[in-house]
Amino acid sequence: MLGTEQSFSDHVGQREHQSVNLSDDEKWHAALSRDETFDGLFVFAVRSTGIYCRPSCPSKRAARERVSFFPGSMEAENAGFRACHRCQPREAGPSPRSRMIDQICKYIEANLNRKLTLAVLGEQVGMSPYHLQRTFKRVLGVSPRQYVASCRLAKMKAHLRNRETVNDSLYHSGFSSRSRVYEDVPGVFGVNPGEFRRGGKGLRINYGIVDSNIGRLLVAATERGVCSVCIGDNYEAVENSLVEDFPSASLFRDDDGMKAWTDALVSYVNGERPSVDLPVQVRATAFQSKVWKMIRAIPYGKTSTYSQIARQLGMPSASRAVARACATNPIALVIPCHRVVGKHGSLRGYRWGIQRKQALLNLEKERLREKHNSKIVDSPSSASD
């Protein structure tokens, strides 16, 4: 689910690539899926109508043989095409549809204590509830109700961290009752709201710290499984990261007791094993679970992109929600979110630092190359006569 620390316009941002060498097949796929993340990178024109559009244009698609691609509006118009009135490809920045959804998101964030129905939200932009539901989910990858719930949850967590009572936090964040927290956002706490307010008070968490070639590794676990993996430059940094997530839990450093699990991670980082198969205890939304499962299926030494995962989920416009699911992954390396990159291999954010993300990718590629070369050397056909 999308985080709500920033408005939707912050997620849309500016165009990420001003000149990108996309193949025509990639452009056509983006146009077919109406992927808004490609807006501003190219336009497509239909020769039979003489009109050019953004990749996200909602208009019906013509046959592939009638479509041409141009870097931008100027090139399309120089070739004799006219701008589409629906998607307004001449305008810089987000599409009209994205701006409309941005407007709705800002309204939601400013009115969390109101009853936010589809009808109420639709009135803000002159759209029917049915059309709003479809458009909102196509752009953001989540429904309006899920976005409202995630906004309220973020606000509730802020109140809980300030040691407000659960009931006051519920009221101030717009939830009508304690049960609605679980109905609207199931599985996001991992503990009940009271425990969250107390920072995990009553929970016993053991952890171990070891050195690795990417820094200090901290592995923390409850009696059921790994709940946190932190990476940092020193012992203090990784311990502080754990305390931030569980400020009131009972934390016990037990390097010997955690040795089997820390050794497993070190072996992985050293390239001695392709995955980390450990029992885990993390709670997730249904969307996060799907994303994390797909990330764990990415082969060692390979990468996928946020948009590819979104398409595999059947939600081509949800690449930003996929990125958010990666950012909220609490068990780095066990769920190898470093294998998810931006378009054309660009590195996006990584909680433990872009340099570590690059180092992990380089290490995996190098180990894969060494393994491949070893097989060639050992093969009978490579032996001398």
Under DSSP, the state recorded for 113 is T
Segment 343-375, tens digit of pLDDT: 777 787 788 988 999 999 998 888 878 776 766
Half-sphere exposure of 19 (CA within 13 A, CB side): 0
Mean pLDDT is lowest, of 29-33, 242-246, 261-265, for: 242-246
CA distance 363 to 296: 17
What pLDDT was estimated at residue 78? 92
pLDDT for position 194: 52
What domains lie within the chain, and their CATH numbers? 10-83 (3.40.10.10), 96-197 (1.10.10.60), 204-269 (3.30.160.70), 286-370 (1.10.10.10)
pLDDT tens, position by position, 316-325: 777 878 888 8
User: What pLDDT is stored for residue 52 in this prediction?
Assistant: 96
pLDDT tens digits for 279-311? 887 777 777 888 998 998 898 888 999 988 988
**Average confidence score pLDDT of the chain:** 79
Residues annotated as catalytic are 53, 337
The CA–CA distances, whole Å, from 12 to 213, 318, 320 equal 35, 12, 8
Q: Of the ranges 3-12, 88-97, 160-169, which one carries the lowest mean pLDDT score?
A: 3-12
* pLDDT(187) > 80: no
Task: Find residue 210's DSSP bridge partners.
Answer: 217
Query: What is the three-class DSSP state of 316?
Result: coil
Bigger pLDDT: 320 vs 239: 239
Cα–Cα dist 23/234, whole Å: 44
